Amino acid sequence: MERSAIVIGAGLAGLTAADRLVAASWDVTVLEARDRVGGRTWSDRAANGARIERGAEWVEEAQHELIALCARFGIELVRAGMSYHDRRPIGGPPVPQEAIVRGRAAVRDLLAELGDGAADLSVADALARLDVTDGVRTAFRARIECTAGTPATGLAATHLSMLAEAPDDADSLRIGAGSDAPARALAEHLGARVRLGEPVTALDIDPDGVRCTTAVGTYAAARIVLAVPLALLGDAPFADALPAPVRDAAAGFGVAQAAKLFVPLTGDVDPQAHLDAHRDYWVWTANEGDAGLRPILAGFAGSMPMLERLEVDAGPATWVERIGEMLPDLPLDLAAAGVQTWHDDPYARGVYSCVPPGSRPDGDALRRAHGPLVLAGEHTDDVWSGYMEGAIRSGVRAAHLVDPALPPPGPAAH
Ligand SMILES: Cc1cc2nc3c(=O)[nH]c(=O)nc-3n(C[C@H](O)[C@H](O)[C@H](O)COP(=O)(O)OP(=O)(O)OC[C@H]3O[C@@H](n4cnc5c(N)ncnc54)[C@H](O)[C@@H]3O)c2cc1C
């Protein structure tokens, strides 16, 4: 019992924590609600057999923990032949690339000027202060609302950093075997310690240890790592058992909403990325490294109001109709399109965390131990929240909190 731990959630965060603890000879049980591991990484196939990523897809060069995890299991990263950051605006007046590059510099200047105060201003208010053309401002707003899955009025201006940090040119990376390959590799390594189909329904946390109830049974351990998505900390069946500082901190964050689209390609096209500046979605075609084009047009639309406008709950029809109008020359099998939403997924309830203006959530409360309880998950990382990297770093931190002999995550920068 002394060196025993229960990990709730077999996403990258929970699996990383479990992996570290097992390496330090802890007796670990991972309880996962779904019948698969990987959580918000979920690779699948489209109607034409092409790989699709229902969740995470892009790997930034600075995602060092993720890249190291892939290297450990021999999982290859492949070049896309296009840049995740460079999306040609469509659906409005043309915006020259040089104007976008100049706009990014203006964003960097504005963030430097705002300093700590960026946390109290909304993205909408900050964009209004930028000295850029209307076309650039509209493209920036669409880019941020789409990626941060929240209207610009509901986002702290700190989210502008995603523009400021964007490299001006790059050839983006993806995980060739699918974004869920690292989670699957970790789970295979952990073996029977990972128990699928066991949603945790109740928690009993006291200073001497924890008891955890699932649909299948009850588990007891000295420590617990809670690695479920942010949205569940507020209203999961076990939320009442969480300490008030944890629930208060979680309530200070926002939950982003987004959907992904998959349309099989019926012919060869160049890798490319387009941002519909009036519908807050972007679409791309991309290579599979040297193997050439992955025969799929993928899309990502963000913010709940935009998902409602695109009527994603009714399927892909409205979204693909718009794409057919915007990009009529692409060889698309519109009838075979599919869409993935996350707001209606009971074990995610959104895509990732974000920060509303003025809320200044107490992230440190999510990064320290509360008796036997430790939290993990992308939302608990201070640098890479919202990314696979943040999930892995959080798992490393959680394992360190449980067993201080294990190392904490290293320094990180975007
Ligand atoms: C559409 C989309 C696109 C994204 N794009 C990118 C990208 O391009 N690049 C990038 O780096 N990141 C991206 N991300 C973010 C990335 O996927 C996440 O940050 C990361 O995977 C989160 O990992 P996690 O372990 O914190 O949470 P999760 O992966 O959500 O894992 C939590 C686990 O807890 C389980 N769980 C929930 N409730 C219970 C319960 N009651 N009992 C037991 N288990 C439970 C869940 O089923 C899940 O498996 C994207 C995410 C989405 C959704």
Indicate if 93 and 154 belong to the same structural domain. Answer: yes
β-strands 209-214, 4-8: how paired? unpaired
Same domain flag for 59 and 128: no
Q: Do 50 and 104 fall within a single domain?
A: no
Positive or negative, the CA dihedral 268, 273, 278, 279 is: positive
The β-bridge partners of 264 are 296
pLDDT at 412: 78
- The CA-atom distances, in angstroms, between 347 and each of 4, 107, 399 are 25, 36, 23
Q: Which residues contact 339 (CB under 8 A, 6 or more apart)?
A: 259, 260, 261, 262, 312, 315, 316, 319
Note the pLDDT of residue 166: 67
395 lines ligand 1 (CB under 6 A): no
Contact status, residue 227 vs residue 236, Cβ threshold 8 Å: no
The answer to whether the CB of 86 is under 6 A from ligand 1 is no
218 forms bridges with which residues in the sheet?
A: 213
Domain-located, residue 328: no
Q: Is the CB of 127 under 6 A from ligand 1?
A: no
Both 187 and 60 in one domain: the answer is yes
Residue 169: predicted pLDDT: 60
Q: Is 41 in the pocket of ligand 1 (CB under 6 A)?
A: yes
- State whether 121 and 153 are in the same domain: yes
Q: What angle do CA 269, 271, 275 make, to 5 degrees?
A: 110
Q: Starting at the earlier edge strand, list the strands of the sheet with 338-341.
A: 88-90, 272-276, 281-285, 296-302, 258-264, 338-341
Residue 120 CA, ligand 1 centroid: distance in Å? 27
Q: pLDDT value at position 1?
A: 72
Assess contact for 396 and 16: CB atoms under 8 A: yes
Assess if residue 139 is contained within a domain: yes
342 lines ligand 1 (CB under 6 A): yes
Strands 4-8 and 27-31: parallel
Is there a single domain that holds both residue 194 and residue 66? Answer: yes
Rg (CA), the chain: 21
Indicate which CATH number applies to the domain containing 225: 3.50.50.60
Asked if 298 and 53 count as a contact pair (C-beta separation under 8 A), the reply is yes
| Closest among 151, 169, 168, 171 to 159, alpha carbons compared | 151
134/93 Cα distance (integer angstroms) = 10
Residue 295 lies in a domain: no
Tell me, using a 6 A CB cutoff, whether residue 39 lines ligand 1: yes
Closest ligand 1 atom to Cα of 389 = 11
For the Cβ of 228 lying below 6 angstroms from any atom of ligand 1, the answer is yes
Q: Domain of residue 151: give its range.
A: 88-164
Q: Whose CA is nearest to atom 31 of ligand 1?
A: 11
pLDDT, tens digit (0-9, with 9 covering 90-100), for 220-258: 999 999 999 999 999 888 999 999 999 999 999 999 999
How many whole angstroms separate alpha carbon 219 and alpha carbon 6?
8
236 pocket-lining for ligand 1 (C-beta < 6 Å) = yes
Q: Whose CA is nearest to atom 49 of ligand 1?
A: 39
Contact yes or no for 33/200 (Cβ under 8 A): yes
Strands (E), 153-287: 173-175, 194-195, 200-206, 209-214, 218-221, 223-226, 254-256, 258-264, 272-276, 281-285
Atom number of ligand 1 nearest to Cα 36? 49
Which atom of ligand 1 is nearest to 12's Cα? 25
- Taking the centre of ligand 1 as the mean of its atom positions, its distance from the CA of residue 377, in whole angstroms, is 8
**Could you read off the pLDDT of 301-310 as tens digits, one per residue?**
999 999 999 9
- Shared domain for 73 and 99, answered yes or no, is no
Statement to judge: residues 2 and 111 lie in one domain: no
Judge if 184 and 53 occupy the same domain: yes
Contact 301, 276 (CB under 8 A): no
Ligand 1 atom 2 nearest Cα: 55
Q: From the CB of 232, is ligand 1 less than 6 Å away?
A: yes
**Cβ(212) to ligand 1 under 6 A?**
no
In this structure, the answer to whether residues 70 and 181 fall within a common structural domain is yes
Residues paired with residue 261 on neighbouring β-strands, in sequence order: 299, 339
Residue 324 belongs to a domain: no
How many residues in total does the chain contain?
Answer: 414
Strand 4-8 relative to strand 223-226: parallel, antiparallel, unpaired?
parallel
Q: Is the CB of 348 under 6 A from ligand 1?
A: yes
- What pLDDT is recorded for position 186? 99
Q: Which residues of the chain have pLDDT under 50?
A: none
Query: Are 97 and 139 part of one and the same domain?
Result: yes
Q: How far is the CA of 130 from the centre of ligand 1 (A)?
A: 34
pLDDT given at position 231: 96
Ligand 1 nearest-atom number relative to CA 31: 43
Select from 164, 199, 222 the last residue of a domain. Answer: 164
Number of compact structural domains in the chain: 2
Query: Does 347 map to a domain?
Result: no
Name the residue of 6, 30, 40, 353 whose CB sits within 8 Å of the most ligand 1 atoms, as the mutation to test its pocket.
Answer: 40
What is the reported pLDDT for 168? 59
414 located within any domain: yes
With CA atoms as reference, report the closest residue to 230 among 194, 200, 256: 256
Do residue 69 and residue 106 come from a single domain?
Answer: no
Domain-embedded: residue 337: no
